[in-house]
Amino acid sequence: MVYGRDMFIDATAEVDWEAIRKRKQDKIRKSNERENKNRKDHTYQEGDLILIKKPGLIRTLSLPYEGPFKVVKHSRNGSIKYEKSLNVYETVNVRRVHPFYAQND
């Protein structure tokens, strides 16, 4: 296909590059739809409590999240600035953030 000829037979081959690109783009779109169909969008407001997922491999009996922390700012680019401790702020990607739900005892 690269040189416009068949690999096994010495004959010219007509390749429809536009159809190949379209088929590839359709596969990408379907894959994205399948991957995102169960995703739940969550917008965080200032003052909401969140949990931060720990990086790396999590051992079986260890806690996978740190927190709760208070949200300072939720940016449109997918980052969240939170207050880690008194006057110490960190920024993290929204993919590592989970909402914190307090249990009522």
Please give the model's pTM, rounded to 2 decimal places. 0.59
- Select from 83, 104, 100, 85 the least CA-distant residue to 42: 100
pLDDT (tens digit, 9 = 90+) per residue, 46-99?
A: 988 999 998 888 888 888 998 899 999 988 888 899 998 888 999 998 888 888
Q: Are strands 65-74 and 79-85 parallel, antiparallel or unpaired?
A: antiparallel
